[in-house]
Amino acid sequence: MDTEEFVATFAVERSGSDCLKWDALEERFGDKNLLPLWVADMDFKAPPAVEAALIRRIHQGAFGYSQNLPEYFPAFAAWQQSRHGITLAPEWLRFSKGVVESLYHLIQIFTKPGDGVLIQPPVYYPFFNAVRDTGRRLVENHLVQTDEGDWRMDFENFEKLLASEAVRVFLLCSPHNPVGRVWREDELAELFRLCEKYDVLIIADEIHQDFDFSETGFVSALQVAQGRFHDRLVVVNAPSKTFNLASLLHGHILLPDRRLQEQFDEGIKPLSQSENNLLGQTAGAAAYQKGGEWFDGVKQVIRENYRYLEQQLKKTAPKIRVGRLEGSYLVWLDLRQLGLEDGQAVAAFVKKDCRLAVDFGSWFSSATASFIRLNLACPPAIITEACERLAAGVAKLAAE
C-alpha cells in the first residue's frame, strides 16, 4: 500500500473524540486552535485486524474477568523474532498497564528510597517523574552533541557517576526519545559493561523499537553480547506505539533472568493486584498477528513526512536544524539559531507565531529549552501545514 492509499484508508478525524492530542489543547496549551503535533500517538486508525478483533469481543457483550489469551505470547514472540531477530521465552513476560507504569513499579521493586537512578537527558519526561515520584535520587548523565549535530552518550561521565553516586538502576531509552537515536550494539555494550562493573540494574525502555530508520539497525538490550547481560536486565515495551493503541493501557515487562523474575513477582504484590486487560490483549494479539502490512504502511508515511519536512525547512527556514530520524516517529528540531532568549520565548514563538502545539525541549531537559519535538505520525497535509507555519513564524521573527 503506498502512502496515498494508506492515508486515504486510515487517516481519521480525531478532534471531538475525547482525544488528548486534539481535544486537550486548551487545557494543555491555553489555546484550542493550535495545530497539534505533540503527544506521541498517531492520527491514523489502528490496523483493521485490531478493529475486527475488538468488535468481535464487544459484540459478545460480556466483560467479566478474563484469562491471559493463549495466542498472545506466540503472536508477540513471532513479531519480535521476525522483525528484530529477538528470541523470547514465555516465562520472561509479565503484563502491565503501560510502560510508564512499569517504570514506576520496577524502580520501587529494585531500589530503595534514596538510591540513585541514572537517566540520560534530554529524555522522555516521565523518566524524571518516575525517579522523583518514588523518592529515588535522580542522577543525570547528559547526552552530548557533536559539531555535526548528532547525539552521543558521554561514557566517561557515565562511569564517573556510577562510581560516585550510589546508582542502583540505569534507565535506558532505546531508541532514544526525543533525540531519535538508535543506539549501536557497541554503544550499548559499553554502557552495559560499566553497569556490570558497578553492579547496576539496566531497565531498557524499547517502546519505539519498531520505528527503525537507522543505517545500523535496532539492537535490543536483550541481544547485546548475545545475552551476556540478561542477569541485570529488564526490558519494557508495548504494542501501543507501533499500532497506535495507547489508550488500551497494555504493556510488557520482560525479565530474562530467573532471580529477577522472582524478585519482581514478590515485589509487585504490594504495588499492583489487577487482573489482565482483555481489550488490550485482544488488540495486541491481533496487531502482532495481522498488523504487519499496516505497520509497513505507516512507517512509509513517517519516512516520507520526515523527508518532506527536512527538505522543506532547509529551503524555507534554514535556521531550524532538523535532527536525524533514526528511531521513533518524533523529530527533534533545534531552534537555537533563531536567537530566542529562553524556553518561554520558544513557547511564545511556537504557539503565537507558528500556531503549533509541540513537545517543548524544556520538558526533556533544562539544557534543551531551544529545541522542540514534532510528531510525524499524521497525514502529510498536516506536515505541509506545519512547515508553512514554521516558515511564516521564522519570517515574522526576522521582520521584527
Ligand X SMILES: Cc1ncc(COP(=O)(O)O)c(C=O)c1O
Three-class SS state of 216:
coil
* Closest to 387 in 3D by CA, of 310, 301, 331: 310
Residue-wise DSSP of 30-48 = S-TTSEE--SS--SBPPPH
Burial class (CB in 10 A: 0-12, 13-18, 19+), 87: exposed
Q: Is the peptide bond before 178 cis (omega within 30 degrees of 0)?
A: yes
Q: Which residue is nearest to ligand X (CB)?
A: 98
- Binding residue (CB under 6 A) for ligand X from 29, 47, 49, 98: 98
- The Cα 279–Cα 271 span in angstroms is 22
The reply on whether position 238 binds ligand X by CB under 6 A is: yes
Q: How far is the CB of 327 from ligand X (least distance, A)?
A: 10
Q: Which is nearer to ligand X, 124 or 306 (CB)?
A: 124
Q: Which stretch binds ligand X (CB under 6 A): 98-106, 253-261, 276-284, 346-354?
A: 98-106
Which residues, at least 6 apart from 39, have a Cβ–Cβ distance to it below 8 Å?
20, 21, 359, 375
- The Cα 331–Cα 326 span in angstroms is 9
Q: How far is the CB of 317 from ligand X (least distance, A)?
A: 26
Asked if residue 119 lies in contact with residue 140, where contact means CB atoms within 8 angstroms, the answer is yes
In the region spanning residues 158 to 177, those forming contacts with ligand X, defined by CB under 6 A, are 173, 177
Q: How far is the CB of 20 from ligand X (least distance, A)?
A: 11
Q: Residues 32-71: x/- map of binding to ligand X (CB under 6 A)?
A: --------x-------------------------------
Q: Residues 198-237: x/- map of binding to ligand X (CB under 6 A)?
A: -------x-x------------------------------
Asked if residue 268 lies in contact with residue 56, where contact means CB atoms within 8 angstroms, the answer is no
Q: Which stretch binds ligand X (CB under 6 A): 3-11, 20-28, 64-72, 92-100?
A: 92-100
Q: Residues 244-273: x/- map of binding to ligand X (CB under 6 A)?
A: --x----x----------------------
Q: How far is the CB of 249 from ligand X (least distance, A)?
A: 8
Asked if residue 69 lies in contact with residue 281, where contact means CB atoms within 8 angstroms, the answer is yes
- Give the rounded distance of the alpha carbon of 325 from its chain centre: 13
Beta strands at 321-322 and 93-96: parallel, antiparallel or unpaired: unpaired
All three cell numbers of 34: 493550535
In the region spanning residues 174 to 193, those forming contacts with ligand X, defined by CB under 6 A, are 177
Q: Which is nearer to ligand X, 21 or 230 (CB)?
A: 21
- Binding residue (CB under 6 A) for ligand X from 124, 158, 218, 363: 124
Q: Which is nearer to ligand X, 98 or 116 (CB)?
A: 98
Q: Kindly determine how many residues on this chain lie close enough to bind ligand X according to the rule CB under 6 A.
A: 13
Sites of contact with ligand X (CB under 6 A): 40, 98-100, 124, 173, 177, 205, 207, 238, 240, 246, 251
